[in-house]
Amino acid sequence: MSYIGSLDQGTSSTRFMIFDITGRVVGQHQLEHRQILPKAGWVEHDALEIWERTKAVIIGALKQANLMGSDLVGVGITNQRETTVIWDKKSGHPLANAIVWQDTRTSDFLGSLSPAQCKTITHKTGLAIAPYFSGSKINWLINSVPEVQRAITEGRALVGTIDSWLLWKLSGGVRGGVHATDVTNASRTLLMNLETLGWDEELLEIFKVPIGILPEIKSSSEIYGETDPAGPFGTAIPIAGILGDQQAAMVGQVCFDRGESKTTYGTGNFALLNTGTEIVRSKNGLLTTLCFKFGNEPATYALEGSVAVTGSAIQWLRDQLQIISSAAEIEALAETVNDNGGVYFVPAFSGLFAPYWRNDARGVIVGLTRAATKAHLARAALEAICYQTRDVLDAMSADSGVKLMEMRVDGGITANNLCMQMQADVMQIEITRPVIAETTALGAAYAAGLAVKFWSGTKELKDQWQQSRRWHPNTSSELATTGFNAWKKAIERTLNWND
């Protein structure tokens, strides 16, 4: 029997998963890495530590599955997006710590850009002018690390997102490693033109990035190179799929067609809507991004909206207010009351993301009376997750003209059945959760498997998708009407707080 491997390199950990042809997990291994926080607003990773973890999880997963590297017909890579590494191609070592997507050290540089430059960047990339994206991180590394400047002058420097670093290392590193990335990761750099799918000279000039240090942009599903037999696989296997994590979840949820969407529920929420081959430019503060590109087929685009605080609001109730002792308890507590008792909770701890984009907003709990209990607050927290998600999906519908009929969901909070029923009621659409919860790793496996013909095409993958649970909206629920109107009122109360 043959299998597909998937390397899932995330913000806090790295794991390797092995899938069979039905998409079942036959082996996996996961290890965490350090979060390096040198100053307020700075977040770094040690790229060499991530490489060591990568080797260990590959060996560990193969051992757990009782398989050899030669049992794999291909390997896919999915990764935390935007996190940036610069390294020396002669020594194979990073020239500085990787700057993580959450890092905000480049805010001042972005603030110095002219309105005309900002307009150019937004139009060409579909992204917001924000420190999350890689362009300003590369600029900072070039201007702030003397060793980087020296390596560029001497032609030794290579830069890329985490996928590029791991592809280069896995394919041989200093012994002829492949320096490439895929369109989904490149679309998060502020340097790639959405229309041409290439590095854009005008954008490179704004960020002062020399094109020679950047990876070659490829599709999300093709053979980029082979693993080095001297590496963790012990043999040469095609590396054949690369996708940023949220795009990988779209592929893992088989959202291949225009109008299909998925929402990943984590610390925050990420919602993506497939807009087909059309680049839809948002009027509602959403990002326009690549969804995927399979081989020589045309690129598929997406709208993306993120909610900063969803799962972390539950953590706040647990850690700061201590009204629950574990995140799983919130469902039982919220179910002890029939409604929120008029209480609304907007967890705008660090402002509001899409579609509001208000840095001046701060969290509020409104509608309190003497009758309010911790159960009402627990229920209000779950409702806040659902209302924020609806805000984003409403904006997507307005931008794209697509009316959603259902939404596919994944991530930790989807185990909370009460919350998912509320989500269906708030949006008045059906919510579906898949049998295989590991949608991100599965998406990278699918991309690689399509390239090496392990699977015949997207139809086979669609036929294979199975739901574990479907929630139907309760049409008599007031969450979508009275509740949502009250939520909008609560949002107004958060604004202009942090002047």
User: Do residues 229 and 357 both lie within one domain?
Assistant: no
Contact 182, 218 (CB under 8 A): yes
User: How far, CA to CA in Å, does 430 sit from each of 153, 265, 312, 447, 473?
Assistant: 56, 16, 25, 27, 6
Q: Please, which pLDDT band fits residue 483 given cuts at 50, 70 and 90?
A: very high
**Each residue's pLDDT tens digit, 102-136:** 888 998 999 999 999 999 999 999 999 988 899 99
Question: Three-state DSSP class for 283?
Answer: coil
Q: What pLDDT does 19 receive?
A: 98
| CA distance linking residue 430 with residue 406, whole number of Å | 5
Give the residue, 351 or 83, on which the prediction is more confident. 83
Question: What is the DSSP code (8-state) at residue 482?
Answer: I
Query: Which domain, by its residues, includes 321?
Result: 261-434+466-499
Q: Which of 187, 219, 247 is the last residue of a domain?
A: 247
Q: What pLDDT does 437 receive?
A: 83
Give CA 416 to chain center in angstroms. Answer: 21
User: Do residues 316 and 227 both lie within one domain?
Assistant: no
User: Do residues 240 and 268 both lie within one domain?
Assistant: no
User: Do residues 191 and 266 both lie within one domain?
Assistant: no
Closest CA to 194 of 52, 368, 203, 471: 203
Does residue 458 lie within any of the structural domains?
Answer: no
Q: Please, which pLDDT band fits residue 307 given cuts at 50, 70 and 90?
A: confident
Mean pLDDT of the chain: 95
What mean pLDDT is predicted for residues 294-316? 92
User: Do residues 207 and 332 both lie within one domain?
Assistant: no
Does residue 121 lie within any of the structural domains?
Answer: yes
**Each residue's pLDDT tens digit, 225-246:** 999 999 999 999 999 999 999 9
**How many helical (H) and strand (E) elements, i.e. helices and strands, does the chain have?**
16, 21
Does residue 455 lie within any of the structural domains?
Answer: no
Q: Which of 247, 282, 301 is the last residue of a domain?
A: 247
Q: How many domains in the chain?
A: 2
Please give the structure tokens belonging to residue 271.
């919602």
Q: Is the pLDDT at 4 greater than 80, yes or no?
A: yes
Contact 359, 396 (CB under 8 A): no
User: Do residues 332 and 242 both lie within one domain?
Assistant: no
- Residues β-bridged to residue 3: 72
H-run or E-run covering 236: none
pTM score: 0.91
The CATH number of residue 341's host domain is 3.30.420.40
| CA distance linking residue 130 with residue 181, whole number of Å | 21
User: Do residues 236 and 268 both lie within one domain?
Assistant: no
What mean pLDDT is predicted for residues 401-421? 92
Does residue 449 lie within any of the structural domains?
Answer: no
Question: What backbone torsions phi and psi does residue 247 show, to the nearest 5 degrees?
Answer: -70, -35
Does residue 445 lie within any of the structural domains?
Answer: no
Closest CA to 433 of 452, 463, 407, 451: 407
Q: Name the percent of the chain lying above pLDDT 70.
A: 100
User: Do residues 279 and 143 both lie within one domain?
Assistant: no
Closest CA to 286 of 165, 436, 128: 128
**Each residue's pLDDT tens digit, 354-410:** 888 888 899 999 999 999 999 999 999 999 999 999 999 999 999 999 888 899 999
Does residue 71 lie within any of the structural domains?
Answer: yes
Contact 414, 321 (CB under 8 A): no
H-run or E-run covering 284: none
H-run or E-run covering 277: none
Contact 402, 258 (CB under 8 A): yes
User: Do residues 128 and 229 both lie within one domain?
Assistant: yes
User: Do residues 105 and 169 both lie within one domain?
Assistant: yes
